Structure 1
């Protein structure tokens, strides 16, 4: 079957076959692997996905390679478990995604014309509706983190033509939401927490919208800021400890000296 494949492709196929073989052996012989179910693997897969995300954010390609291997194992693991009850196997999984990619790219495998990224995205969403999705937003996972979900909702709405025309309009919306959020705190003696929370949510959603318009991924941007804050705070803790100080007993002004030092080292 693979006689005409290049040596490089054969090496990849052999590596995948090796993984399938090892998975079969572990499932049949290892007490831990034999005990696992699709449900028991779920939280581990989520953890592995976040570890891959961390590696990508750190720009650590050796770790990216390792984490991709972990996820590949999980995919094979799920398929092996399902094959034991005749639900599906790894061939079904791979053929399924191949068929979906072919059907979702009629501009490559058919006679549809799509010469821009935006047109490709619009075709993609229209095809998903034809395949059974009841709503353009139906493909957004319920359990996505809220910031990522906001971005995906807005992207999908755009693919259906529901979007602002200019980024200036989006910024006006940000300013409007900021004013409404500030108004929620105008009279703190009658502050309604639920109303303030709602207005803050609207403000965040509008900021995500603006980020999308200027080609910034808000999840990536916020995570970079998180990492920057952690690095600076760790420096603050370490330097205070070297000086024999305890953060709880330091003034904000004293801590800010170390904070500014940390910023200069970036």
Structure 2
């Protein structure tokens, strides 16, 4: 972005007279130059100097020299601008939505962005691939910023770690010789997206990517519809609808018609996703956690069976269930230890 320098004075006294403790003008002004360059990544900047035109020209020259140095040292792929933007959004005077996010609250958005990327690939939408890669990069940046604020790691650590991993995994490519030169707010969100060329749709729900996992799609569809006012006034209405759909599912099972039963099962899941939404629970993430939990606990059951040296059929259901309860107890103990 442009940096405009405006002189406030008319005197052109020696520039070094603006320095302190024997510093030259360039040394004294270095922190200001760094600040102006950093801010210019985010927006156009107007900077006033106390001196006259000569001082303004000198500051412009310092900026050009600093930009040249940045250009000489810059990597081909520079994530500094998005890292700086994310830090700005997370500041006290930044965006309330960005500031309120945590690793946990951002889970659904990371899933959504990945599936939007997949949809762009399947659609051979090159502009879409470029845009969605940027959205995924923002997810990386904000997760890294949240971690940095807690003193855990930074975006640079993320870049370094994945770079080191790629080098480690490709020893046939990165020989020692080839390594020698390696250098050192939410309510308006949908409306804003609709204003962008790629986000213009004939119908509101067209903006929900078809390739999303079904539970995530159900949550997203009902969230968008609710923004138009098409929603129950309170959660009791959702509970009533859930019980209604559950009863229809039970009746369909009694009919012995698998097609009808499947349809009613879908209605139950769809309303359940809406029920989760009303309680600020992400159904896709909740199911993912349940799947992961089942994997862990069943792996423990497998290990216990294997350790016994007996075949699966030699165990009763009660015995297998006791292994399952062991797994639950181990997890609870670990949770208490972690706390």
Aligned equivalent of 1:132: 200
Q: How far, CA to CA, are the matches of 2:328 and 2:300 in structure 1?
A: 10
Q: How far, CA to CA, are the matches of 2:309 and 2:269 in structure 1?
A: 40
Equivalent runs, 1:217-236 vs 2, <5 Å: 217-236=282-301
Q: How far, CA to CA, are the matches of 1:232 and 1:192 in structure 2?
A: 35
Aligned equivalent of 1:174: 242
Greater gyration radius: 2
8 A contact 2:204–2:224 mirrored in 1: yes
Q: How far, CA to CA, are the matches of 1:217 and 1:247 in structure 2?
A: 36
Q: How far, CA to CA, are the matches of 1:166 and 1:233 in structure 2?
A: 39
Q: CA deviation at 1:250?
A: 2.2
Aligned equivalent of 1:155: 223
8 A contact 2:205–2:224 mirrored in 1: yes
Aligned length: 186
Equivalent runs, 1:106-121 vs 2, <5 Å: 117=186, 119-121=187-189
8 A contact 1:125–1:156 mirrored in 2: no
Q: Unpaired segments of 5 or more residues in structure 2? A: 4-32, 42-65, 79-120, 164-184, 332-339
TM-score (norm 2): 0.46
Q: CA deviation at 1:247?
A: 2.2
8 A contact 1:136–1:156 mirrored in 2: yes
CA pair 136-128 structure 1, distance change in 2 beyond 3 A: farther
- More helix per residue: 1
Aligned equivalent of 1:252: 317
Q: CA deviation at 1:238?
A: 0.6
Q: How far, CA to CA, are the matches of 2:273 and 2:283 in structure 1?
A: 6
Q: Unpaired segments of 5 or more residues in structure 1? A: 22-37, 71-104, 106-116
Secondary structure at the aligned position of 1:5 is classed as helix
Q: Runs ≥4 in structure 1, deviation > 6 angstroms?
A: 38-42
Aligned equivalent of 1:20: 77
Aligned match for 1:164, one of 218, 227, 232: 232
8 A contact 2:213–2:284 mirrored in 1: no
TM-score (norm 1): 0.57
Q: CA deviation at 1:69?
A: 6.6
Q: CA deviation at 1:126?
A: 6.8
- Across the aligned residues of Structure 1 and Structure 2, the Cα RMSD in angstroms comes to 4.2
